[in-house]
């Protein structure tokens, strides 16, 4: 049976529930703190090594927990004589996922 490495970049807020769901499904993950994206908010990158037959299970778990949602953030309108905060709506959440073939796997 071949293995896959799933690299999932998710919003920090989703990580506790996601990790709990992965453990419940006997999937181990390594957490790496990361930053990036449009809002420069904290993200977590998960490294998840699984057999081919578990890939869909992991993807279903991520889809269920890391949903896209709307957020309101303040935006300063600096072109006006007096700066005012103008809230704007942005989409946040979700996940970026890479599934990579693994040639060799060793647990030492």
Q: Is 40 domain-assigned?
A: yes
- Residue-level pLDDT at 90: 64
Q: Is 35 domain-assigned?
A: yes
**β-strand partners of 86:** 75
- Residue-level pLDDT at 29: 96
pLDDT band at 107 (very low <50, low <70, confident <90, very high): confident
Q: What is the largest CA-CA distance in the chain?
A: 65
Residue 32 maps to which CATH number?
3.30.70.120
C-alpha–C-alpha distance, residues 97 and 54, integer Å: 15
Q: Count CB atoms within 10 A of the CB of residue 48.
A: 21
Domain range for 30 is 3-102
> What number of H helices and E strands is found in the chain?
2, 6
Total structural domains in the chain?
A: 1
- Residue-level pLDDT at 40: 57
Q: Average pLDDT over the chain, rounded to whole?
A: 84
Q: Is 97 domain-assigned?
A: yes
Q: Is 19 domain-assigned?
A: yes
Q: Is 65 domain-assigned?
A: yes
pLDDT(103) > 70: yes
Cα distances (angstroms) measured from residue 34 to each of 5, 9, 12: 18, 8, 9
Q: Is 57 domain-assigned?
A: yes
- Does this model's pTM top 0.85? My answer is no
pLDDT band at 79 (very low <50, low <70, confident <90, very high): low
pLDDT(42) > 60: yes
């Amino acid at each position: 049976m071949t293995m896959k490495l799933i690299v999932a970049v998710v919003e920090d807020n989703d990580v506790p529930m996601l990790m709990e769901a992965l453990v419940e499904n006997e999937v181990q993950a390594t957490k790496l703190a990361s930053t990036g994206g449009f809002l420069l908010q904290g993200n977590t990158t998960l490294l998840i090594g699984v057999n081919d037959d578990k890939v869909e299970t992991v993807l279903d778990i991520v889809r269920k927990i890391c949903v896209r949602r709307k957020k309101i953030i303040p935006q300063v309108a600096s072109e006006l004589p007096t700066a005012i905060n103008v809230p704007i709506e942005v989409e946040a959440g979700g996940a970026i996922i890479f599934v990579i073939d693994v040639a060799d796997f060793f647990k030492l």
